[in-house]
Chain A
Amino acid sequence: MRELTCLGARSRFPWARPTEGVFMKSRGFAILALLGALLGLVFALTSTLDYASHLDRRLHDVTCSFIPGAAATGEAEACRTAMYSPYAALLRDSYWGGIPISLFAVGAFCFFAGFAIYLAVAGQAAPRRAVLLFAGTGVTPALVSIGMFVISATRLGTFCKTCVGIYIASFVLAVAALLGLATLSAKHATDRPRPPGSLWLVLALLPALAALTLLPAVVYASAAPDHRPYLASCGELKQQPREKDQLLSVRGQSAVKPALFFEDPLCPTCKAFHARLKGEGVLSRLDIKLALFPLDPSCNWMLDTPLHPGACTLSKAVICGGERSLEVLEWAYDEQERLGAAGKSGEDVLKGAITQRWGADMGKCVDSPKTKARLNAHLHFAVDNAVPVSTPQVYLDKKRICDEDTDIGLRYTLKHLAPEVIR
């Protein structure tokens, strides 16, 4: 056994079978990196396939789990928020939904899996430059993940489990890549140092990384269906807003385009849509007529069951906001979870929350018959236009923007229907 160890460790032939200790020292990091890359590939592929499914403009469940390959589910709000956000894809002006960034991760993880296999098989025979290159490039997914983590925390306010899976895989890969540097140390190299390797190796591997990272995205872009015929195919407004409808006016600072929104302050989709518009920088470019459409039967006769109890009271608060109605609406979105719970607890609890934030005068205004009548006028405006009982709804130039075009296809749709609002 001792002889074998010596033979393995000290052989003149680098491809001779090393001992287990040396094997793990020279290959362990590569095996760990392979695990990280494969894990990342599974998560990135899952995310990409979910994204691609939505190209049919229909509603789909989304996978949102730390378990690789877990089934899609309807309860995946965090992952849906991430998917619909402006940060989920590139080139969203040019392609409906854009090119999901997870596609680049798919290509990159494939590259790192192959690179890790190479390092694992080559063992101590792998050149120093390859290990250095692996360390240098292997941390890039982790760096991107840090950026996406910060965006999730600061912009989206939620963490998608599938995305977190990619972050974890990226960190495993980064740690493994950095551990590889340890195999270059003098102490490790005493038995048999790694060959330096050719510069050509670096020059060949970097384009390979670029090519593999881009290949899935290029194929996706070339195959993505043309959505132009479907834009604005979701009906038209029958009646432009009139004075008697008493809709709210929310004019952006640099408004260039009139728009009409139907929104509910307790609707999570409205909140997400509002955030997307802000994120895209579009909100300030719109001159919005806002019709409140609370999905709450306490004022909305079109519903039998309360989808958002308390939405009527909050809608009245938005009306009472007057020139600050947008501020009140955004407050309702920011505090949606708390206000939704207050709405379920009862009218008084919710009114308490409103007066606590906006003062007693707001409370009086919410209770006034005039405000009630104005909200009622908004709902009758919806009836006059026979709009679907759903929120949010957006109309540009009388044309209704399809629901599917208000999420992942938002930027593409705006580019085609209202290019002036895209900066």
Chain B
Amino acid sequence: MNTTPNSLRNGPDDRGFFGLYGGRFVAETLMPLILELEQAYADAKADPSFEAELSALSTHYAGRPSALYYAERLTEWCREKSGGKFGAEIWFKREELNHTGSHKINNCLGQILLARRMGKTRIIAETGAGQHGVASATVSARFGLPCMVYMGAVDVERQKPNVFRMKLLGAEVTPVTSGAGTLKDAMNEALRDWVTNVADTYYLIGTAAGPHPYPAMVRDFQSVIGSETKAQFFAQKGKLPDTVVACIGGGSNAIGLFHPFLDDPSVEIVGVEAGGHGIDVENGHAASMTGGRPGVLHGNRTYLLQDGDGQILEGHSISAGLDYPGVGPEHSWLKDTGRVSYVPATDKEALEAFQVCSRLEGIIPALEPSHALAHVLKMAPTMDKDKSIVLCLSGRGDKDVFSVADHLGETM
């Protein structure tokens, strides 16, 4: 860990806080486990063999490094929109090319190695869009551990291809019907499983949220995205990018891209939240930082969508992966410090970006990064041509083709 004074990369503190946010707000039954996990992760980080094993798997199993790609036709498209005068270069960090089709594998490989070190014999996970569920099922298959994935019943319905993938990989998928049957309810149910099966079970959290040390640990495993981006961009352009952009649900791909750039003041950093039907529509979006306020849920303090009495709202997004009422605590802190700008993109804007990217680049993006792309398509035409934006293309859109067809009124 970087310990430079005044660095934005030193968090969290030893109690797991990033300023006001983060911490360990869990039931006593889980507290000893959380402390044990923190120790195990500290030991693993200090052990070169852990890093070596993770690095080998990342290369030979997940396919890292992922490509950094210049999206030439999208860049040209934005330049034409500006009348030819403006238009920053648009680059994609191609996390969708990873094994399992998203950035989620980065975190899952790190945590499954940790679970093995801790002697845990059963894996549980929560999933929204199914990307983390698939990645968890994948690493569990690879290491021969049984895997139980909790998924909201509504999400099971809108992400059928991923549900079947998880089953093919040998995982058991439990649809969760409590609450609204989406990601937060899946996380509640996973926590209930964990508190019941504390002795043998490892909870593989998929995003940079939850009790300490998860937010820091998931960030560390995802930071490979930003570190590679920095080196690859420098190799091609001899400088840093001017802007980096990523979508935010819980915010794991975003913190992975952002963290290595936090201490580079010339780099503008933008996180794009799910604006759903619009920020002004009550309970019609999932933009917890733009439209929420601080509260405590799922083991950490962070920005939450909630009513005046502290009851958590469900939120809405076209994307099951962004449909979460909270956000990783480090993002909440980065918002308050002003280092990162957080903006919303609506369902409609994401759907348009999804189609434009497919037609112009021959890349079908997932609906989640389509939100980030929607914002890039707004900002690129206003920036000079010698500027560059790197977008984290966090996942591929195969899983979304059915629901997109539905939204576009096509029958398949």
Partners in one complex: no
